[in-house]
Amino acid sequence: MRLLITVARRIHKRPLCSPTSCLSSAASSSGAATNSGLQFRDDQLVCGSTGELVQRLSGQVEAIHGYRETERAQWGAVCEGVMDRLRAVAFSEGSPLLGPVHVLDLDKAGYIKPHIDSVKFCGSAIAGLSLLSDSVMRLVREDKPAECLNLFLPRRSLYILRDQARYKFTHEILKDAESIFSGQRVPRRRRISVICRNLPV
């Protein structure tokens, strides 16, 4: 942390931007409390130097609410065996994989908003183990929002997104209040996902 702060001080010679305009939208009004005790509504989480900039970029930034994340390069023997099986099922033999495995810890009240992972850093497939809680993943065609697909992800299941599902559809994990699959309520609890990706060709 000390090194990071030192580098940041060297880079930022000019005064930092002081955002004055905050996003105002019809987003949820639930509070997001920080460790310092500050409280903001979900529609107050984006601020910028001008209101015009906030409105222009508001549809281009997304957030994951209520989460922690890390990356793991090494696993114990049992876990490594599971990861080997995952890779064998999800990726073609010899496919170069993206370095450390991404681990996302989503709180019961957390959710993942619609997004498509950057093609600069990820290849044609994404594979994830869903642990601790059942959940619902929704895919929506980016250029035709009427085309959508819900996936029921039981705890301890593996999902794989390839090709069109990977590039043309956003994916999201529904929040608990919206977690319904085929008319059935799917209660969302704390969810951990272990995610592998291959490298761009």
Name the nearest CA neighbour of 158 among 69, 86, 108: 86
Write down the pLDDT at residue 167. 84
Position of tokens 């956003």?
A: 170
Q: Which secondary-structure segment (H or E) carries 170?
A: strand 169-173
Write down the pLDDT at residue 81. 92
- What is this structure's pTM? 0.66
Contact between 138 and 98 under an 8 Å Cβ cutoff? The reply is no
In the structure encoding, which two tokens stand for residue 61, read together?
Answer: 């930034």
pLDDT range class, residue 193, cuts 50, 70, 90 = very high
Per residue in 146-162, pLDDT (tens digit) is 888 898 999 999 998 88
Write down the pLDDT at residue 53. 62
Given a cut of 90, whether residue 122 has pLDDT beyond it is: no
Q: How many helices (H) and strands (E) would you count in the chain?
A: 4, 14
Q: Cα separation of 134 and 164, whole Å?
A: 25
Q: SS3 of 162, please?
A: strand
What sign results for the dihedral spanned by CA atoms 132, 199, 66, 55?
negative
Question: What is the rounded (10 degree) CA torsion for 170, 60, 111, 1?
Answer: 120
Mean pLDDT of 111-121: 79
Per residue in 35-83, pLDDT (tens digit) is 445 555 555 555 656 677 667 655 555 576 677 877 888 889 999 999 9
